[in-house]
Structure 1
């Protein structure tokens, strides 16, 4: 990200505190060795319990705001087990609906690509809806005497847009307070102003928690990523804290670690990669010049969909800029994430499912994983 774009942005006290801890050598812990039962990753009953006790109730990130950059846009979304529709109405408000016509239950919008239209028209009987979910029209209205159109609006789910992310919940009583509080952190990165460069959904043969585990510790970076991004980071120098059930961590880049002592936000951004683990299953990685948002959608105890969004400061204006971002996208999405992190998770799932070990062992550089699993247990 260009420094001039950061001059008017202000870091939060928490972000500055993590930078100061990195400058001092990172966080040290004497927590000792802890364990996670292998069944937490392999039990079908556990998967059902997590879906019923966590994903059915808590706020979930579904997409970055940049997925819908203009009013009157909609994107179908099927990753969370029900047909959903992410929409931005004519006034610019984000909404999440069930993607179901209220006449006969037909799926309203097909595919998974963005649709730009002032009305969404059912392919069966052509009932139409505006992007705020209101029933706008129907053919032969005389055949539905005394029909109250307000009773046939699309079914809206609780939705909040904060700090450049769109959250929703299946539970009407879900509390979005922590999601809105996180928005202040994301405003410091201008997440709302980012451009969506690429998105891709990966189908990974692993439990969703194995994916989360990979982004909750830096112990693996110099090993798993030795041929890609490992050389950029200082081994074992990291720090982190909590925002409710969510975790915020930071690692220093090897070549710029001394800059962590600076108080200038653009300088800090060039030296630090911030990572946010948004409970239950979202990861935001804020690199110095771009961001990756990963939304995890568990399908079974051994399968998860991971949608990766790459966000950049502005749309590429030249072929050189396009080539630069394509290189970054291919390095991270295909190389680091799919080729290394997701592959390691799938190999871990194979090993755990074999019954070879009864528990996973966590060291002092993996305390973020311990905190995450404690949060899962607390919700269950």
Structure 2
């Protein structure tokens, strides 16, 4: 997969079908997605401001893999596999925390320094001639870009984060993303849905449904909303506001209070902007704050929605109120999207489901599906193969470079 360049123009004549319905409910395909999509592609686990002091830590779990991100005594932020080298116990339990000078395994008491090196094993004489240097915590690949922490459990096709996200570098700079500070996630943002992860992405990857399904967003920015797709699995969407709107209480008061930061260019001062990263992450910026959210697959039929919210360091009371109202609007939108994801996902099981027929305004869905088709060519098959043949057939199609319809 190459780095992104210029936006993709929607072709005049393109195949408007999406992925076939069977791909949303196949256990064998989900296992391929685990190994070849999620574990090999960049995932966002937080921001450097989430671990401000030595000993502060975060955890990130994904499909059987566990990461521990911790700031060392030298100030460096590192990512490790969250497992003790003795018997694999989880070192850190919970989403975040702090340790004074070392991580201690709760199973047998092995002690690790904040840089991941093994300080000592309990009852060291019982291990014979053990080389402590060989039993430090295992590193997880991590890159920091504009303050955000990107992890990858296995080597994969995406380039370095800075190269991949280069089209958005100027925007993240002007939003001062590196200086963001964490704030609490309002209730209702985190949830577990009984759907395949792709159904969540399908809803989020297009703005065609905004006018019908999202009254608050339609009231805020209406027809100004645009989706822009880039090669390489990234996208940019934005909606401008202020010229009209204000029928709903949250929107009306938000428009009164939202700041117009001078450090932002005019196009971003009155805009909500979204930056998508394949396979499952979105960064969202408003004039008063920022967040990222992602859909974490748990099983083929279960997906956890999660993320983190941030504020600017110089926030005042008016800006804080605007950020509250923005979160209120976003929370209602999230609830609406959850129902759409459930309806969409259940339709895939119906014998009456007969492919998608996508609008030009839904080209982001097609672009996301195209990346999956390149990674997993078996998803190009319109009819479901036998479950026990999917992995082998995928490899055959990859090796042959076939492009079945």
| Residue pair 1:234, 1:254 contacting (<8 A) in 2 also | no
Cα distance in 2 between the residues matched to 1:367 and 1:254: 27
TM-superposed CA distance for 1:209, in Å, is: 1.7
Deviation at 1:175, TM superposition (A): 5.1
Residue 106 of structure 1 deviates from its aligned partner by 1.8
Q: Is the 8 A contact 1:56 1:171 kept in 2?
A: yes
Going from structure 1 to structure 2, the CA distance change for 1:379 and 1:321 (only over 3 Å counts) comes to same
Residue among 206, 222, 228 paired with 1:217: 206
Q: Residue 329 of structure 1 corresponds to which residue in structure 2?
A: 327
Deviation at 1:174, TM superposition (A): 6.1
Per-residue CA shift, 1:202-252, capped at 9, x if unaligned?
Answer: 2122221222222322111111111x2211113265241415222223333
- Give the CA deviation at 1:120: 0.8
Match of 1:198 in 2: 184
Give 3-state SS (helix, strand or coil) of 1:370's partner: helix
Classify 1:64/1:180 alpha carbon distance in 2 versus 1 (closer, same or farther; 3 Å).
farther
Per-residue deviation, residues 292-311 of structure 1 (Å, max 9, x unmatched)? 20122112222111212111
CA distance in 1, matches of 2:107, 2:326: 43
For the residues of structure 1 that align with 2:134 and 2:263, how far apart are their CA atoms? 54
Among candidates 58, 61, 69, match of residue 52 of structure 2: 69
Q: 1:203 to 1:218 in 2, by over 3 A?
A: same
**Runs ≥4 residues deviating over 6 A:** none
Instruction: Describe how 1:44-83 pairs up with structure 2 within 5 A.
Output: 44-83=27-66
Q: Does 1:139 align with 2:122?
A: yes
Find the aligned partners of 2:70 and 2:351 in 1 and give their Cα distance.
44
5+ residue gaps, structure 2: 246-261, 377-405
Q: Look up the SS of the partner of 1:362 in the other structure.
A: coil
Which residue does the alignment assign to 1:88? 71
The CA distance in 2 between the partners of 1:135 and 1:371, in whole Å, is 45
Q: Which runs of no fewer than 5 residues in structure 1 stay unpaired?
A: 1-13, 19-26, 258-262
RMSD of the alignment, in Å?
Answer: 2.9
Q: Which residue of 2 aligns with 1:266?
A: 265
Q: Provide the C-alpha distance between the structure 2 equivalents of 1:30 and 1:92, rounded to a whole number of angstroms.
A: 52
Say how many residue pairs are matched. 348
Secondary structure, aligned partner of 2:287: coil
- Report the TM-score, using the length of structure 1 for normalisation: 0.82
Q: Describe the shift of the 1:141–1:256 C-alpha distance in structure 2 as closer, same or farther (beyond 3 A).
A: farther
- Aligned runs of 1:91-170 on 2, under 5 Å? 91-170=74-153
User: Helix, strand or coil for the counterpart of 2:94?
Assistant: coil
1:365 is aligned to 2:361: yes
- TM-score computed with the length of structure 2 as normaliser: 0.77
Q: Distance in 2 between matches of 1:302 and 1:242?
A: 29
Partner secondary structure for residue 133 of structure 2:
helix
State whether structure 2 residue 343 is matched by structure 1 residue 347: yes
Structure with a larger share of its residues in strand = 1
SS at 1:299 equivalent = strand
- Name the CA distance, whole Å, in 2 between partners of 1:57 and 1:101: 23
Counterpart of 2:291? 292
- Cα deviation, residue 44, structure 1: 2.3
Matches within 5 A, 1:297-316: 297-314=296-313
Residue 28 of structure 1, CA deviation? 7.4
Partner deviation per Cα, 1:157-183 (whole Å, 9 max, x = no partner): 111111222111121466542445526
Secondary structure in 2 aligned to 1:104?
Answer: coil
Deviations 1:62-86 (A, max 9, x none): 2233322333211233243223212
Change over 3 Å in CA distance of 1:265–1:323 after alignment to 2: closer
Give the Cα separation in 1 of the matches to 2:316 and 2:242: 31
Tell me which of 163, 181, 188 is aligned to 2:174.
188
The answer to whether the Cα contact below 8 Å between 1:59 and 1:176 also exists between their aligned partners in 2 is: no
